[in-house]
Amino acid sequence: MAKLDNQTLIGHLQKAFGSDISSVEEPFGLLSIQVSKERILSILAFLKDDKELQFIYLTDITAVHYPAQALSIAVVYHLHSLVNNIRIRIKVFLDGAKPEIPSATSLWNGANWMERETYDFFGVIFEGHPDLRRILNVDEMEVFPMRKEYPLEDPNRVDKKDFFFGR
């Protein structure tokens, strides 16, 4: 086990994709890279199909909202190479007004609900997804609740007001 370390892994990726890979970090030993949305699908496919890397396991897809940034939505992929026992985190930053990214459902069936959940909470449009509907929230909802501008609860509620200590 653990034949592969982060240095070798990033070497492989940079040989194949060169300057497409930016802001390489290793927070707590987990290699974290950033790519553009044009290259994300080819990088995922490369990681999955490469005979040595074998990132066959899609652990998770989620998103993060950074309202202060120009590209405000970050879609985060966690992949796991079970054979080499190593994980990688891939981030793609998208325009918050029109967050569109190719769907990974062609590579993993399991990406289906993960992407639906991400769409449900952040409004990320996964192009090519077979069934991009809301999954946990009600269908009538018109907002994307995990975005930072959406309040946790209505600030004008009076029933929870405490006249001595505020809220």
- Rule CB under 8 A: is residue 72 a binding residue for another protein? no
**Minimum distance from residue 115 beta carbon to another protein (Å):** 11
What x-and-dash track marks residues 14-43 binding another protein by CB under 8 A?
Answer: -------------xx-x-x-----------
Q: How many residues bind another protein (CB under 8 A)?
A: 39
When binding is defined by CB under 8 A, the residue of 4, 10, 16, 76 that contacts another protein is 76
Q: Are strands 73-81 and 86-94 parallel, antiparallel or unpaired?
A: antiparallel
Tell whether residue 135 is a contact of another protein (CB under 8 A).
Answer: yes
Task: Figure out which of the listed residues 58, 73, 94, 132 binds another protein, where binding follows CB under 8 A.
Answer: 58
Q: Distance of CA 117 to CAs 51, 59, 81, Å?
A: 31, 14, 24
User: Under 8 Å CB-to-CB from 49, ≥6 apart: which residues?
Assistant: none
Binding of another protein by 109 (CB under 8 A): yes
Least distance from C-beta 125 to another protein, angstroms? 17
Residues forming contacts to another protein in the complex (CB under 8 A) are: 1, 27-28, 30, 32, 56-60, 62, 64-65, 76, 78, 82, 85, 87, 89, 108-110, 112-114, 117, 121, 133-140, 145-146, 150, 152
